[in-house]
Structure 1
């Protein structure tokens, strides 16, 4: 990803130009940033590392006060808190804002779209995605700085999930919204429930499976102690976190501060992809050794899922911003060969 690398190099260069010691009249940017992740989680550690890098690269000119685990406002309220000045930046995700505008679905979790996190990141940086998304964010007085995309999520199931055929009458925990519509069309029976209810629902047979997270996180949660079937690589959901800042605050920052922020976010995005892939690979080996059945879907089944998912997108593209993002995704996915004509 040449553009990502160039952005990060530019950030380093900007720091070197600023000098090795902070001048007395150096501009200071103070940012209050909230994330929904706990500091001990993988995502929380990635954010902590990124914040440290930003402060170091800016030679202390950017001073970040982080808030983890949604300690200031609720996760869903973080975006508005940043837009109104209670916070300065939001490090949650666009999917929390679909009630504000359905277009946020297509920057939060583009279901049935990209096969890998690098493909999704390449849309953002090389497929016109950042410009298209920025139009949406700016309407709400926010500036999109970048994404973290951790990779495809996997299911945990008490029944085999080897193909599309196995989805028929498969009861599984699903978040609300577009995912329920897609899987209903494929014959599944999604059940919307809180994340905390998954364990009891699996143990009692209320559900056959669950959409929770990636395979490493699912293992860490203990889901495969109950559910002995999984799929990998995942295919249905690849949510992204965003770093988005109050636009007035962003515009008031010196240019080299903005460059440092963009570069550090791009660097963190690449590290997230690499680290989660490592975690998933380790979890996969451990689960196989424990006797968990891992299903890898065929190209035909994967394409069938994508076809149904992409046919569902227009049902949620009910605003000009959402339509523009769907068109942008479809054009880029067509370039990647992930759209079936």
Structure 2
């Protein structure tokens, strides 16, 4: 009996040892898989051009913070405000190209000196002036694919446009028509915008956003373009100006009515992502574009009530003013389109769209003699 009992106990011990070995192996495999999963997670550092504490930055950071959960932990976006890593716009562009940052959230127009075609990748004086027109050109007429082709030459991948807002002008004196622009010193973004305003006698002054308030306060400038009401209210423009200039009813701005931002990333970082993850990021940018735009529009409505309560008066250009502004802008369009082949290709795409009867902004007569 003793031998039988001993054999039974030995078999039980063997089974327990086998079970423990299996458990240990399973645990080791689980740890290895977990470590592999952690190692596979990708983190991107992305810098926005929004300052910390602004509505623009808060919206973008909220979106970035949600990316890790949406991708099941595969991709994490670490968001930085303006100047946190790259000190200025030139530095930001280079930091993403060189991989110091994996992405950026700029206003697309910032790169007009580096990528001439970028002046046509966001709204410009008297061009397409409705957000849906820009979505149509990017997502239905081939402009997104062409934009990516252009950015690839710089080691960048243009993920997609982000709808933001219209730009408006704050002034010390009322501007009731284009004739009232003559002789004004105005903060403008430069490039095509400054060239068109120069046609109406405006002396353009280039200033970063942080310098606009003191320049208006000291009288260094008479008026200033900046973004929309929501942000401009936060910057205190109602304290140093009495008037806001807009376009005809339904058009908040005649010179930058659809000021687009975007998400642009390092090309190598993009190519390292799984195709399914790439598609997810593209889809999320389109979702965020609408979310950002609608949030800003709500804030604009609230801000305009605050401007009104503070004594600010809105003046509007007429439909006739808009047509005159467009006539002055068309030759400037062509000058910028002639800067290189990419700019011309993007412009031609947009010109065909504006001449289509679904839009009807431009006629053959308007561009007669233009090349």
- TM-score interval w.r.t. the shorter chain? 0.7 to 0.9
1:35 counterpart = 2:53? no
Contact 1:158-1:229 at 8 Å conserved across structures = yes
Match of 2:72 in 1: 59
Is 2:218 the counterpart of 1:225?
no
Q: Distance in 2 between matches of 1:24 and 1:180?
A: 52
TM-score, normalised to structure 1, is 0.86
| Partner residue in 1 for 2:97 | 83
Counterpart secondary structure, 1:294: strand
Equivalent positions of 1:1-341 (< 5 A) are 24=37, 27-74=40-87, 75-232=89-246, 233-237=252-256, 238-317=258-337, 318-335=339-356, 336-341=359-364
Give the Cα separation in 2 of the matches to 1:199 and 1:93: 21
Once the two structures are TM-superposed, the CA of residue 108 in structure 1 deviates from its matched residue by 4.6
CA distance in structure 1 between the aligned counterparts of 2:277 and 2:235, rounded to whole angstroms: 38
Partners of 2:74 and 2:177 in 1: CA distance: 53
Structure-2 change in CA distance of 1:22 and 1:329 (3 Å): farther
Report if the CA contact (8 A) 1:34-1:91 is conserved: yes
Judging changes above 3 Å, is the alpha-carbon distance between structure 1 residues 29 and 187 closer, same or farther for their aligned structure 2 residues? same
CA displacement 1:43-71 (0-9 Å, x = unmatched): 21221122133222211111222222231
**2:124 touches 2:192 (CA, 8 Å); kept in 1?**
no
Deviation, 1:109, is: 4.9
TM-aligned CA deviation for residue 100 of structure 1: 1.8
Aligned residues: 321
Q: Distance in 1 between matches of 2:37 and 2:233?
A: 51
Cα deviation, residue 320, structure 1: 0.8
Unaligned runs of 5+ in 2: 1-33, 247-251, 365-371
Q: In structure 2, what is the Cα distance between the partners aligned to 1:288 and 1:127?
A: 40
Structure with max Cα Rg: 2
Helix, strand or coil at the partner of 2:283: helix
Q: Is the 8 A contact 1:29 1:61 kept in 2?
A: yes
Q: Return the offset for 1:255.
A: 1.3
Q: What is the alpha-carbon distance in structure 1 between the residues aligned to residue 309 and residue 108 of structure 2?
A: 37
DSSP-derived class of the 2:321 partner: helix
Contact 2:54–2:231 under 8 Å retained in 1: no
User: 1:331, 1:116 → 2: CA distance?
Assistant: 16
Q: Check 1:159–1:54 CA distance in 2 against 1; reply closer, same or farther (3 A cut).
A: same
Aligned to 1:305, the other structure's residue is in SS state helix
Q: 1:138 to 1:313 in 2, by over 3 A?
A: same
RMSD of aligned alpha carbons: 2.3
SS at match of 1:150: strand
**Do 1:26 and 1:61's aligned partners in 2 also have CA atoms closer than 8 Å?**
no
1:23 Cα deviation after fit: 9.3
1:216-267 Cα shifts (integer Å, max 9, x gaps): 2222211122211112322212432221111122122111111111111111
Deviation of 1:81 (Å): 1.5
* 3-state SS in 1 of match to 2:183: coil
Moved more, 222-231 or 47-56: 47-56
SS in 1 for 2:173: coil
For structure 1, which runs of at least 5 residues remain unmatched after alignment? 1-20
TM-score (norm 2): 0.80
Give me the whole-angstrom Cα distance separating, in 1, the residues matched to 2:156 and 2:140.
21
Q: Separation in 2 of the partners of 1:64 and 1:197?
A: 30
